[in-house]
Amino acid sequence: MPTAQSVMLAIHCKKTEAVDIKGPLFVYIRATYSDREADDAAGDLERVQSLRTEVALAQSGSQPGVRETVAKYYRYLCAMETRFPFSREKGHTQVSFAWTDAFRPSRRVAQNNIHYEKACVLFNMASLASQQALQCDRTSAEGLTAACKLFQEACGTFQLMRESESGKTELPRPVDIGPECAVLLEKLMLTQAQECVYHKAVVDKKSPNVLARLAKQTGTMYTEVERLFGGPALANYFDKSWSQHVQLKASIYQVEELIQSSRQYRADDKVNWEIAALKEAFARLQNSRRIAKGISNDMIESVNRTQDLVQSLLVKAEKDNNSIYLMKVPAFNELPVTTGALLVKSAPPSAGSLDASSEQLFTGLVPENSARALSKYTDQVDDLIRHQLDRLAEATDNARIRFREWELPDTLQAMDVRTSAALPDALRRDLEDVESIGGVNHLKGILAEIGELRRAVDGDLMSAQESLDSDARADGDARAKHGDKWKAQPAATAAKPYWDRISQYRAAMQKAGDSDQGVLRRLAENETAFTSLTVEAATAQMPRLQAPMIVTGPEDPAVVVATLRRNMDALQALANERGGMEEAFKELKNKDNVLAKVMATPPQNHDALFKEELKKYDTLIADVDKNLAAQDSLLAATKAANSTFRTLFDVDGWRMACEAAATGVRETVRQYRELLDHCSEGLRFYMGMNDAVRKAKQEAADFAFTRQVQRDELLQEIDRRAAQEDADRLAARMAAAGVKAGGFRINNRLRRRDPLTGA
């Protein structure tokens, strides 16, 4: 049966249509070179066409040698890229490559762009690796190692697609090969590789501490993937089952981390820490169950099994602590934080090298030195663009860090509306946690489940009592009928242990019911307050940042605010401009095709040619310099304006007022947490009581059945003895009757003797 831990995802391959590559290339070679060279290349063209047909059919990782076939075709494409210009322009090789979207098969996109073909081929190569990873035996260490390697290769291939080919395709490009989707797939594959490492550590029986760190990292990575599913470009792209799967994985591995940490605490004789970790695991499992309900019954059963495990471990730990250790159980947030252990990274595909230099294809068309020269120029362009993009990214990061230090634009927004930035960070996180688990509805859901369990327990207790009452009635009837002959043990004596246990359970249920009523009263009293435990509601209680009533200095608050807003707008405009610069660099690089010039230039002049060609990027570099200088100037001005603003508006005093206003909300959060702990304790109590009473009901039924069998046997014995006594009396009467008959016959003979002779 599939479990929440064992199910993983594979990527479907993109599908393509038949494409005539041979014809257009043959026409181009004949037009550009000569008929003879075209005839010489006919064999290579046939190989390319045949291999492309095989690639179109390569849709399953179970096909023998399928990734090697796709890798070989990718090498062919690399060899063709440096020799043939693929585009719609006149005189170029006009081949239309058509592919469907892997996740939306009804979407078909065709481009006269070899980079589009290469990106789609790399996508399928990565998809095939993910499919082969799922085909590995992931119950063995060897199978998990193989699956981990394949997932890392899938990650590396998606990364290669994004970095090398996706950006060179025509716009608008398909979503599945776009950068946002590629990043998501990279991280998903790498996360599943990390998950394989965790499972292998379990198989290898590593220590709980190691398993906890691996589970922590796996859960963190799944959380990051879950965040990517909600990105603007992908929000409505994937089927919701994908995000649900990842959400469940993130939740379940957070629980796995706590389970393994609790086992390490047990090994270290820190039973109180073990209890705190298991309680938190039990609470988080409620969120896992909520997610699993939207996926399948198998996932619900899997989460329930994990919950049963946590329940049993927690019961044992609390029993040991209450009877042996007697240690105070700390709050969960007082436990040391587990550090994740990342043991995977992206890897290049192993199913055949992607280096096209080993392929002897169209060797008569492009000189080897020209190909090397072109590669050298491409590297120089990549280095130049990478350096400029790094400068742009560093500037953006620097501005973001400064804004965070200056609390901008949060403080400006706090003047207009009540913003969540007014909330203390710890309180905001607490409120987000409460909202994420469902708030007051979560408490009601637990209480409803407690009610169902209580009714089930009461029903089982009644059934057990009815079994004992039935035995007592049968015993009384038999004793009244047979009197002293009924030697069976009285029902009151025989059933006393069962009645004692039922009384014990009823007393516990009575006590629990009283506690439940207290919880319900507290919930009713605080339901309105608990309902308002949202970031939005808490924000509404925070004071607004206001201008001073009396200005004593020369600065006009309105002017200071206007200056800050103007600077912020200008900095945002510069940031947007940098985004356009990144696209401009990439667009210019995509158009930077110097193959014809390289082939027309003598090798000794290649360096001079490259230097001249790189000058086309000078304008963009100058724009970068201008943008960064303008940002530095604006940041300096913004720093001064913000300092004045914070003094005028007493931002520190406003923060203190927000802290004071948050006191009531903190207390409500504390009460909610306390009530949630009571509910969780109650749920665990009733789950344990349900199991115990169900067992007691069965034992009472077995007891009544056994007593009935014994009564039947005793009745048979009484009947047998009565029959024997009747037979004995009958025999005695018959014997007595026989003695009397013999005496009568003797007397008659004496009377018949002759009185004279005596004969």
- The pair phi, psi for residue 236, each rounded to 5°, is -115, 25
State how far the Cα of 685 lies from the Cα of 754, in Å rounded to an integer. 107
Q: What pLDDT is stored for residue 161 in this prediction? A: 94
CA-to-CA separations, 24 to 32, 37, 120, 307, in angstroms, rounded:
12, 15, 21, 63
Q: Any idea what the Cα angle at residue 409 is, between residues 407 and 410, rounded to 5°?
A: 65
> Are the C-beta atoms of 340 and 213 separated by less than 8 Å?
yes
User: Which stretches does DSSP call E strand in 263-321?
Assistant: none
Upstream peptide bond of 64 is cis (omega within 30 degrees of 0): no
Beta bridge partners of 109: 99
CA-to-CA separations, 649 to 427, 568, 569, 645, 658, in angstroms, rounded:
24, 18, 21, 6, 14
> Are the C-beta atoms of 148 and 197 separated by less than 8 Å?
yes
State how far the Cα of 589 lies from the Cα of 587, in Å rounded to an integer. 5
Q: In sequence order, what are the residues at sequence separation of 6 or more whose Cβ sits closer than 8 angstroms to the Cβ of residue 560? A: 641, 644, 645, 648
State how far the Cα of 81 lies from the Cα of 160, in Å rounded to an integer. 16
Tokens of 547: 């201008």
Q: What pLDDT is stored for residue 562 in this prediction? A: 84
Q: What pLDDT is stored for residue 356 in this prediction? A: 65
> Are the C-beta atoms of 150 and 110 separated by less than 8 Å?
no
State how far the Cα of 229 lies from the Cα of 374, in Å rounded to an integer. 39
Q: What pLDDT is stored for residue 705 in this prediction? A: 92
State how far the Cα of 167 lies from the Cα of 589, in Å rounded to an integer. 10
**Domains of the chain by range and CATH?**
1-205 (1.25.40.280), 206-348 (1.25.40.280), 368-406+547-648 (1.20.120.560), 434-541+656-719 (1.20.140.50)
Cβ neighbour number for residue 358 with a 10 Å cutoff: 10
State how far the Cα of 165 lies from the Cα of 179, in Å rounded to an integer. 10
Whole-angstrom Cα Rg for the chain: 42
Q: Residues 251, 255, 258, 259: what is their CA dihedral angle, to the nearest 10 degrees?
A: -160
Q: In sequence order, what are the residues at sequence separation of 6 or more whose Cβ sits closer than 8 angstroms to the Cβ of residue 516? A: 447, 450, 454, 682
User: pLDDT means per 10 residues in the chain (759 residues)?
Assistant: 76 93 90 86 92 89 85 88 82 90 94 94 95 93 95 96 92 92 96 96 95 96 94 90 93 94 93 94 91 87 91 92 90 92 90 66 68 85 91 89 82 70 78 83 87 90 89 86 82 86 88 86 82 79 73 72 85 88 88 67 72 90 92 88 79 78 83 87 89 90 89 87 88 82 52 46
Backbone φ/ψ region at 14: left (φ over 0), alpha (ψ -120 to 50), beta: beta
Q: Using CA of residue 689, residue 690, residue 693, residue 695, what is the dihedral sign?
A: negative
State how far the Cα of 159 lies from the Cα of 121, in Å rounded to an integer. 13
- Helices 141-160, 179-203: inter-axial angle, 10-degree rounding: 170
State how far the Cα of 355 lies from the Cα of 334, in Å rounded to an integer. 53
CA-to-CA separations, 337 to 216, 218, 433, 637, 756, in angstroms, rounded:
10, 15, 18, 41, 136
H helix intervals, 490-534: 491-494, 496-531
